[in-house]
């Protein structure tokens, strides 16, 4: 799909040319060459404001036969001193959407016009290919009337003076990140009757086979033998059997220094007997967003092959109602042996996750990241742009922060004081733990509950209830699933590999 070129005769540009332009900067380099060919018209259009360097503003001009191709897309990058990777990526996303609307099959990117210094050209290549993948994403819906599909880009020429092999490697990584994120988006967007726990397990097995990972799918009978009473309790109301999905990416001969990614896989959540409202139930197909993020990250890890042992553990079930379903006031016994009094059957995700976390520890996890659409409280606290996080290990959390900053996904740390731990332990008068000590500090209580099963293992909890979906279209995709944290998790594995 990509071809890197070090020389660009403008006569060979076929349909469209993408050029970056900064605000209040003089024309030089490739832009000056292009201006000369067009007899100073670019300078004139910049001066008149028909071409804008303002951040993420796309200015499209037609060449009117003065050059061999029809369109030039000028991408505003704002002030050069304020340029960041997310700005470049989102600007590329916006121009990719415009190109798709214009139904171009071939486009050429003047990559060096998107950087302020030579060392950033690899970042620009990554940003472009990631944006190309993300901004082009569409979910194939179930309407009988066929859509008129947009003409998709067949080839992209990337013009730069940098080393071709290095640029191609950066393009490959960026596109892989985008595709892994899109895979997670599709899983989250699927209707619940099209994605049961069994379907999610089948998809995970496909990933494992493609990348030669070891895998294990625990069935209900095996969970019963292992004593996974918490996960099984969530499943009691369902006609769909639960699945405990395990993927192992083994990069070293010794199974040590293992990063465990534990993703909540509730394929639909009614709330159980603590029933959600009619309006609150719509959209609960997305309650497996954590599982989708883990599988998207494993896809990237399989493609890029970091030198880091990684295990994915996903408890998969739906949360339904029947005569056998879990009830408020029930006391259940988790795989760890800790007993749990159930005060809210809609606090089911933490019940499924606690057994998965304990199992990950049994499988040799040295570090644990759990990720889940866990609480509405985190949306109240942080909104829809920032993921809530908790940790028991400062060093590990610094790695996570750096990974999230590198890919431009926002995290905010919530407190994890003894006060919260004690409320989880002491709220129940008849069991070791309460699954829902109340509405106060709700997202923190959910994380603190999971911390009881992590114990001393370095751990990070990510609550993506607010960030897993978007209500409206944005620069890097349509409304719906975002695939949030896929790239952060993959980058964390890469960073841990590099820092060994």
* Confidence grade of residue 190 (pLDDT, cut at 50, 70, 90): very high
Mean pLDDT, residues 222-236 taken together: 98
Closest of 412, 406, 365, 403 to residue 384, by C-alpha: 412
Is 208 in the same domain as 339?
A: yes
Is 10 in the same domain as 91?
A: yes
Closest of 185, 174, 184, 240 to residue 207, by C-alpha: 184
Q: Element (H or E) spanning 208, and its range?
A: helix 197-210
Can you give the residue range of the structural domain that contains 352?
190-498
**Is the residue at 124 inside a domain?**
yes
The per-residue b/e assignment along 428-448, b for 16 or more CB within 10 angstroms, e otherwise, is beebbbbbbbeeebbbbbbbb
Residue 438 CA neighbour count, 13 Å, CB half: 8
Count of domains observed in the chain: 2
Mean pLDDT, residues 61-72 taken together: 85
User: What's the pLDDT score for residue 143?
Assistant: 83
What pLDDT, in 10s, does the model give residues 383-440?
A: 999 999 999 999 999 999 999 999 999 999 999 999 999 999 999 999 999 999 999 9
**Is the residue at 335 inside a domain?**
yes
CATH of the domain at 384: 3.40.630.10
**Is the residue at 169 inside a domain?**
no
Give the range among 62-71, 223-232, 247-256 with minimum mean pLDDT: 62-71
User: What's the pLDDT score for residue 151?
Assistant: 59
The angle formed by the CA atoms of residues 483, 94 and 294, to the nearest 5 degrees, is: 10
Closest of 292, 299, 304, 494 to residue 400, by C-alpha: 494
**Is the residue at 167 inside a domain?**
no
Is 153 in the same domain as 196?
A: no
Is 197 in the same domain as 127?
A: no
Is 134 in the same domain as 228?
A: no
CB 246 within 8 A of CB 313: yes
- The average confidence (pLDDT) of the chain is 95
Provide, rounded to the nearest whole percent, the portion of the chain with pLDDT above 90. 86
Provide, rounded to the nearest whole percent, the portion of the chain with pLDDT above 70. 98
* Confidence grade of residue 118 (pLDDT, cut at 50, 70, 90): confident
The angle formed by the CA atoms of residues 468, 485 and 88, to the nearest 5 degrees, is: 100
Is 364 in the same domain as 307?
A: yes
Helix and strand numbers, DSSP H then E, in the chain? 16, 20
Is 148 in the same domain as 237?
A: no
**Is the residue at 115 inside a domain?**
yes
Is 293 in the same domain as 256?
A: yes
Burial label, 172 (beta-carbon count in 10 A; 0-12, 13-18, 19+): middle
Higher pLDDT: 306 or 41? It is: 306
What pLDDT, in 10s, does the model give residues 324-334?
A: 999 999 999 99
**Is the residue at 178 inside a domain?**
no
What pLDDT, in 10s, does the model give residues 441-499?
A: 999 999 999 999 999 999 999 999 999 999 999 999 999 999 999 999 999 999 998 77
Is 294 in the same domain as 362?
A: yes
CATH of the domain at 113: 3.40.220.10
**Is the residue at 91 inside a domain?**
yes
User: What's the pLDDT score for residue 148?
Assistant: 52
CB 487 within 8 A of CB 173: no
The two most distant CA atoms of the chain are separated, in Å, by: 83
* Confidence grade of residue 24 (pLDDT, cut at 50, 70, 90): confident
The per-residue b/e assignment along 457-484, b for 16 or more CB within 10 angstroms, e otherwise, is bbbbbbbbbbbbbbeeebbbbbebbbbb
By annotation, the residues acting in catalysis are 276, 350
User: What's the pLDDT score for residue 246?
Assistant: 98
Is 132 in the same domain as 203?
A: no
Is 267 in the same domain as 368?
A: yes
Is 209 in the same domain as 115?
A: no
Closest of 427, 429, 421 to residue 449, by C-alpha: 421
* Confidence grade of residue 149 (pLDDT, cut at 50, 70, 90): low
**Is the residue at 50 inside a domain?**
yes
């Amino acid at each position: 799909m990509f071809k890197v070129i070090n020389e660009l005769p403008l006569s060979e540009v076929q349909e469209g040319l993408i050029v970056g332009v900064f605000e209040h900067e003089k024309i030089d380099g490739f832009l000056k060459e292009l201006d000369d060919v067009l007899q100073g018209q670019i300078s004139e259009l910049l001066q008149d404001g028909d071409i804008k360097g303002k951040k993420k503003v796309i200015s499209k001009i037609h060449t009117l036969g003065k050059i061999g191709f029809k369109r030039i897309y000028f991408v505003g990058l704002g002030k050069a001193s304020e340029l960041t990777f997310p700005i470049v990526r989102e600007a590329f996303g916006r121009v990719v959407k415009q190109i798709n609307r214009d139904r171009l099959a071939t486009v050429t990117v003047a990559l060096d016009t998107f950087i302020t210094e030579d060392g950033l050209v690899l970042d620009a290549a990554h940003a472009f290919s990631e944006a190309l993948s993300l901004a082009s994403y569409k979910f194939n819906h179930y309407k009988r009337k066929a859509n008129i599909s947009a003409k998709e880009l067949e080839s992209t020429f990337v013009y730069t003076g940098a080393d071709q092999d290095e640029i191609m490697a950066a393009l490959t990584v960026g596109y892989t990140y985008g595709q892994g994120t899109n895979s997670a988006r599709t899983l989250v967007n699927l209707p619940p009757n099209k994605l049961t726990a069994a379907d999610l397990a089948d998809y995970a097995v496909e990933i494992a086979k493609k990348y030669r990972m070891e895998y294990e799918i625990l069935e209900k009978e095996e969970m019963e033998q292992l004593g996974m009473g918490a996960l099984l309790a969530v499943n009691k109301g369902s006609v769909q059997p639960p699945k405990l999905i395990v993927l192992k990416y083994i990069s070293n001969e010794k199974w040590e220094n293992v990063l465990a990614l534990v993703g909540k896989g509730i394929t639909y959540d009614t709330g159980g007997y603590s029933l959600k409202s009619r309006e609150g139930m719509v959209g609960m197909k997305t309650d497996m967003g954590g599982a989708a993020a883990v599988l998207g990250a494993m896809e990237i890890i399989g493609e890029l092959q970091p030198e880091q042992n990684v295990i994915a553990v996903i408890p998969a079930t739906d949360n339904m109602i029947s005569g056998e379903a879990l009830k408020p006031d029930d006391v259940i016994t988790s795989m760890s042996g800790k007993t749990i009094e159930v005060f809210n059957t809609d606090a089911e995700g933490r019940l499924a996750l606690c057994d998965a976390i304990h199992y990950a520890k049994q499988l040799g996890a040295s570090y644990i990241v759990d990720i889940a659409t866990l609480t509405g409280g985190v949306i109240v606290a942080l909104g829809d742009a920032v993921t809530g996080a908790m940790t028991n290990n400062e060093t590990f959390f610094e790695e996570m922060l750096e990974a999230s900053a590198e890919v431009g996904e926002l995290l905010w740390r919530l407190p994890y004081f003894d006060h919260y731990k004690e409320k989880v332990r002491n709220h129940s008068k008849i069991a070791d733990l309460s699954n829902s000590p109340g509405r106060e500090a709700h997202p923190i209580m959910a994380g603190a509950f999971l911390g009881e099963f992590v114990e001393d293992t370095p751990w990070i909890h990510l609550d993506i209830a607010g960030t897993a979906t978007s209500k409206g279209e944005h620069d890097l995709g349509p409304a719906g699933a975002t695939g949030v944290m896929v790239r952060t998790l993959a980058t964390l594995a890469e960073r841990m590999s590099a820092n060994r």
